[in-house]
Amino acid sequence: MEPHPPVSAVLGEVRTALLPESAALSRGSAAELMALVHGRPVRSRERPVIWAQSPTVVEGIDCRFATPDQRRVRAVGTVAARAAVVGGRIMQSSAHSTVLPAASDRRQKWVHYLGRPGVAEVLTRAPAGLGAELTAGFLAVRDSATDTFDPGAVAARLATRVRRNPMLDQNPPLHTPTTRLRWAARVEAGTPATMTMTLHPGELRTADFVVGDLAELAAVQAFCDDLALHDWLLTVLTEVIDEAEMYELSRTPVDQVISPLLEHLVYLWMPGSATPPPLRGLWEVLEADPGFSRQWHARVGQLRDRLAVATLAALNRVSTVW
C-alpha cells in the first residue's frame, strides 16, 4: 500500500449564532434538529450542557487556493461540514478541508474524491512550503466574491438550512450577531502547539495554528468550535453592555436588554470543556492573555450590578408613588 502524502494544511471556518427559537431545546429536540442526513446517527449528550451534532455533510469543490504571491494553486476534492446545537440555544456550523498534494496532476473522477470526505487534493505542483503559503493566503482578509476556496460559504448554507427548519419558531429571546472564525492549521513536527488569533472589524476572526503532530492536527476543529463559541459569548456580552448604556440614556427599562442574556446565555460559559485533550493547553494561554474568563466574569458582574441598580431605582419609584 502506498503511503498517504503529507498533509499540507487544514483550512476551515466556524459560524456561530443564536438559534432562532424562543425556548431552549431539549436534548431530544436538538438531536431532531440535527438529523440532517437520513439514516445517519446524530451525536448528542446532556452534560455539561445539552449538545447535539449533525452527521457530516459533504460538498464537492474544484477551485483555486489563495497564496500571498497570487500563484495559481488548483485543488479538487470535498469540504466536510457539520452543524451543532449547544446548550439548546446556540447554533454552530463548521466546514473544513484537509489539503494534500495529489498523486497525479490529472483530475480524477468524482467517485475518487467523494470517497475521501473533507480532503482537497492539490493538482498543481506542490512546493515544500505549500502549507505555510496556503495558511497565509487563506487567512488574509480579502474580497469574499473571489473564486478561491471558501469553506465559510459551505458553513453559511448549512446554517441557513438549520435556521429554516419549521420546528423553530423564529422568535429568539434577544438579538445577537453572527461571528465567523476562519482558521488554518499545519504541522511542524515536534514543535509545541501554538495559536495566533486576530479580531478583525465586524464579524470576522482568524486563527493560525502550528501543531507538532497529526493527533494535535485532528483536534484543531473541535478546539475551534469551542473557541468560536466562547468568543461569540464575549461578543454578545459586549454588545449587550453597549445596548444597556443606550437604554439608560433613553430612559427605557434596562432590564429588557440585560435580563435575557443573564437568563439564557451566562450558564454556557465553560471554556475548554469541549476541547480534546491534545490542545487543552491552548486554553491556558488564552486564559493568561487576553484572559477570556477574566473578561467574561468582570463584564457579567458589571451587568448584574446595573440590573440591581435599575431594580432598586424602580422599587424606589414605586415607593415614592405610594
For position 2, what pLDDT does the model report?
40
Model confidence pLDDT, tens digit, residues 162-198: 999 999 999 999 989 999 999 999 999 989 999 999 9
Model confidence pLDDT, tens digit, residues 84-96: 999 999 999 999 9
Model confidence pLDDT, tens digit, residues 7-48: 789 999 999 999 999 999 999 999 999 999 988 999 999 999
Q: Is the pLDDT of residue 309 over 80?
A: no
Q: For residue 249, what pLDDT band results from cuts at 50, 70 and 90? A: low
Over range 196-201, report the average pLDDT.
92
> Across all residues in the chain, what is the average pLDDT?
88
**Is pTM, for the whole model, over 0.85?**
yes
For position 246, what pLDDT does the model report?
75
Q: Is the pLDDT of residue 78 over 90?
A: yes
Q: What are the E-state strand segments in the chain?
A: 9-18, 43-45, 51-53, 57-65, 73-86, 90-101, 119-122, 179-187, 194-199, 204-211
Q: Is the pLDDT of residue 3 over 70?
A: no
CB 174 within 8 Å of CB 18: yes
For position 69, what pLDDT does the model report?
78
Q: For residue 302, what pLDDT band results from cuts at 50, 70 and 90? A: confident
- SS3 assignment, position 174: coil
Q: For residue 256, what pLDDT band results from cuts at 50, 70 and 90? A: confident
Q: CA angle, corner 300, sides to 311 and 291, nearest 5?
A: 165
Whole-angstrom distance, CA of residue 50 vs CA of residue 22 = 16
Burial of residue 307, with CB atoms counted within 10 A of its CB: 0-12 exposed, 13-18 middle, 19 or more buried? middle
Which helix (H) or strand (E) covers residue 243, if one does? helix 214-249
Over range 250-262, report the average pLDDT.
77
Q: Is the pLDDT of residue 296 over 80?
A: yes
CA atoms within 13 A on the CB side of 27: 9
Least trusted range by pLDDT, from 42-46, 50-54, 114-118, 130-134: 130-134
For position 148, what pLDDT does the model report?
87
Least trusted range by pLDDT, from 174-178, 256-260, 269-273, 294-298: 256-260
For position 315, what pLDDT does the model report?
65
What percent of the chain has pLDDT above 70?
90
Whole-angstrom distance, CA of residue 162 vs CA of residue 91 = 9
For position 1, what pLDDT does the model report?
36
CA atoms within 13 A on the CB side of 285: 11
In angstroms, the Cα distances linking 289 to 84, 139, 277, 286 are: 28, 22, 20, 5
Least trusted range by pLDDT, from 126-130, 141-145, 186-190, 293-297: 141-145
